[in-house]
Amino acid sequence: MAAQPPRPVGERSMGSPREAARAPARSPDWAPTQARTPGAALVGQRESPESGLQEHYSNLCMEKSQKINPFILRILQEVDEEIKKGLAAGITLNIAGNNRLVPVERVTGEDFWILSRILKNCLYINGLDVGYNLLSDVGAYYAAKLVQKQLNLIYLNLMFNDIGPEGGELIAKVLHEESTVHIGRMLKENHCLVVLHMCKHDIKNSGIQQLCDALYLNSSLRYLDVSCNKITHDGMVYLADVLKSNTTLEVIDLSFNRIENAGANYLSETLTSHNRSLKALSVVSNNIEGEGLVALSQSMKTNLTFSHIYIWGNKFDEATCVAYSDLIQMGRLKPDNTDVEPFVVDGRVYLAEVSNGLKKHYYWTSTSGESYDHSSNAGFALVPVGQQP
């Protein structure tokens, strides 16, 4: 984090990275054990400048049977002294392990657990430097929790702390706030919502993962629209997996993403072997080539529930054109249930676009005649919630 600490307590000098490298490696089994799992927070206690951080830290260590770290105790004492002088806001807590001006006992993940319990309610502390210590993934776990709880924190230094990929991932997850995080939480609790449109929402693979995680617990959603986002084939791993067990979703709109052949193959495998509830899928303009499109067409031969597919805007080779022409000619794919129509030139089959889709005319109303065409707005025909008669 690039912001300069606003008001450091105690000087620190930049030590060599090798100093931290010589520290013994922490155990990869970083998840809190029963002996170290934090219990309930002190009931009703909210730290204030008057109560004393040093005293609070000592008491909490005793309560949790955790060894007191004298370095932390010393720094908290300095903060208490600063507060007595009238400073009660904008404090950066400097507990860097490369401080050569005072005796240092480097902070471990377990030390940081206790420290984070104190700091989460200290609204007058908005910066924390715990670089060059031994936090490991244990400390990263509690740092992630602290970032979630302490909304005033604007500066956090965790450099040279033996944090591995798991700890780094935990911290990264709490720093992104895609809206799908909140939508996912809602889907886990809401069992009435039937249609969800999240087009043009800047959803990436982590976002579709959040939604898919929620869909394991949701039993009401029938129409999911995540068109016009930034989802790639990696995101289809999560969607294909949840579709193996989800029996509610009937319509999925993935138009204008970038799932490519790999993503189409993930979906095809699930639709062929597992899912028997999905009726309609749109993969319009997803940079899918022949192989992936053919795989989806094969799914329709074995999955009789899967009746609508929209593929325009991808890369059609001869095999793709023949596959969808065969589906239409044999009656398996009705002309109104897709956005392509076969034609033949010099003995070769091609596909032309037709004006069908899940919501082709969603933002358009005819000036004459019928204003609602089922083939152009098939998503609303299949899931007619809220549709005007």
- 124-160 residue pLDDT tens: 888 899 999 999 999 999 999 998 888 778 889 999 9
In a domain, 304, yes or no: yes
215 and 133 part of one domain: no
- The count of C-alpha atoms lying within 13 angstroms of the C-alpha of 30, restricted to the half-sphere facing its C-beta, is 23
> Any idea which of 8-22, 58-72, 236-250, 312-326 has the lowest mean pLDDT?
8-22
Q: Comparing C-alpha atoms, which of 274, 273, 226, 215 is closest to residue 249?
A: 215
In a domain, 207, yes or no: yes
Domain residue limits at 302 = 179-353
Total domains, the chain: 2
- When pLDDT is cut at 50, 70 and 90, the band that residue 51 belongs to is low
In a domain, 377, yes or no: no
In a domain, 346, yes or no: yes
Position 371 pLDDT exceeds 60: no
The confidence score (pLDDT) of residue 34 equals 34
In a domain, 88, yes or no: yes
Position 42 pLDDT exceeds 60: no
DSSP type of residue 375: T
Instruction: Assign residue 316 the CATH number of its domain.
Output: 3.80.10.10
CA distances, 359 to each of 16, 113, 114, 231, 256 (Å): 60, 51, 54, 20, 13
